[in-house]
Amino acid sequence: MGTSSPYGGPQIGLIPSWVDDPATGVETPPTSPAATPAPTSSSPDTSGAGSLRGARTAFNKFARTGNRDDLARSVSRYVRDGVGGSRRAARRMGEARASAGRLLGVVRDIARDGPVEALRRVNLANLAGQPAETVLLALLEAICPPGGTLDEAIARQGMLEAIDALAEDGLGAFDTLTPGQLEEFFLDVVARTIEARILNDIGSRGINLPTSVAAIDQLQAQLHDFVSGTVRQQLAGRLDGVASLTDRNVLGAADGIYERAFDVLAAIGDDL
């Protein structure tokens, strides 16, 4: 979201000038795929995209008033009208969705076989017993390496910000993280990548922002609280039974979580 992170990496601001509309997609040079577990296609689905006018109109009202209902309308119209529904919205996540699938595979391995074996499978066995933030940063490099595309930047920044938030809790060794903490971390990554995708799509043009940096930061904080709170509340418990998932089912589960998240975000504007 453009917030600072002690770990560096790309920053996703509210209105980067180089973002394209969903209808046109994002043209970037190809990159070599990283050697990561359970790779998935990272090409975002830009088919079926409609107009973002309704989403931007509602977001402009939100920018003027700070009214949560206007924000909910904007996000709902983004999903339904702008990108063609929750399934296409999930497909639009591109590399973020693929990286989330790889992260969920690690969470599955931890639940099934323990943290030492899970780290061994991603060539990080030497980090067993290390602080949680140290291991998570190494996992970031393994499953979500730096790249030149917007989709890769969104994926990486979402995980960086989730690590930053987790580190603020002063956690101990990675091996001591509970299943509940790992689920919260995974859903935080999902929410933050969705938030960044929405910001970049809606905010690419036609948004009248306040002139105050503090006011802009407040708008971003409100969007974060809205998306994160909605996603994490509605999807809590979705990782129950993750230890029994096969590799293919892990990838499908990650896709399903993104689709369900967009379902919830679209439906929240129904009564407004």
Q: Is residue 35 part of a domain?
A: no
How many helices (DSSP H) and strands (DSSP E) are in the chain? 10, 0
Q: Is residue 13 part of a domain?
A: no
Tell me, what's the pLDDT at 271? 67
Tell me, what's the pLDDT at 19? 30
Q: Is residue 41 part of a domain?
A: no
Tell me, what's the pLDDT at 28? 31
Q: Is residue 17 part of a domain?
A: no
Nearest to 166 by CA among 198, 193, 142, 137: 137
Q: Is residue 214 part of a domain?
A: yes
Number of domains in the chain: 1
Q: Is residue 1 part of a domain?
A: no
* φ/ψ of residue 8, rounded to 5: 75, -160
Tell me, what's the pLDDT at 272? 65
Tell me, what's the pLDDT at 22? 38
Q: Is residue 136 part of a domain?
A: yes
CB 55 within 8 A of CB 247: no
Q: Is residue 261 part of a domain?
A: yes
> What is this structure's pTM?
0.80
> Could you read off the pLDDT tens digit of each residue along the chain, which spans 272 residues?
333 344 333 344 443 332 333 333 333 333 333 333 443 444 445 454 568 999 999 999 998 888 999 999 999 999 999 999 999 999 999 889 999 999 999 999 999 999 999 999 999 999 999 999 999 999 999 998 887 788 889 999 999 999 998 888 777 899 999 888 898 999 999 999 999 999 888 876 678 877 788 888 888 899 999 999 988 888 887 788 888 999 888 888 999 999 999 999 999 877 66
Q: What residue numbers bound the domain in which 93 lies? A: 53-267
DSSP string for 74-137 = HHHHIIIIISSSHHHHHHTTTHHHHHHHHHHHHHHHHHHH-HHHHHHHTT-GGGTTSBHHHHHH
